[in-house]
Amino acid sequence: MAESILAVCPTAITEGADAVRRTRDDCLIARRPYLDQLEAAARSLAGWPVGAALANLEERWYDDTGRLAERLTDLAGRLDEAAAAYQAAERSSTQRFREFR
């Protein structure tokens, strides 16, 4: 067990969590022009069945990308917690080792 704790690099986990958050932010930025244009196209086709379909599509993409962003936020948080746990275990082991010496 001690071996696996020592083999883990908490910094890399934190970097992974940061990468997950960056991906989330980039996703939210990437969706914006598409959603804005879906809305504009839906407006220009107001009264057409297909205009309503575009408005519905915009709503669905907004919701779905939002849920994905929430999942990425949650995932990054779990990774931060894992990194913190490994760092705490490492500090504790170091402390015990010093006391033992």
Is residue 31 at the binding interface for another protein, with CB under 8 A as the rule? yes
DSSP state of 9: -
Nearest Cα neighbor of 10 from 98, 89, 92 is 89
**Cα dist from 71 to 5, 30, 74, 76, whole Å:** 27, 17, 5, 9
Smaller CB distance to another protein: residue 2 or 7?
Answer: 7
The residues of the shown chain that bind another protein, judged by CB under 8 A, are 4, 7-10, 12-13, 15-16, 19-20, 22-23, 26-27, 30-31, 33-34, 36-38, 40-41, 43-45, 47-50, 52-54, 56-57, 60-61, 63-72, 74-75, 78-79, 82
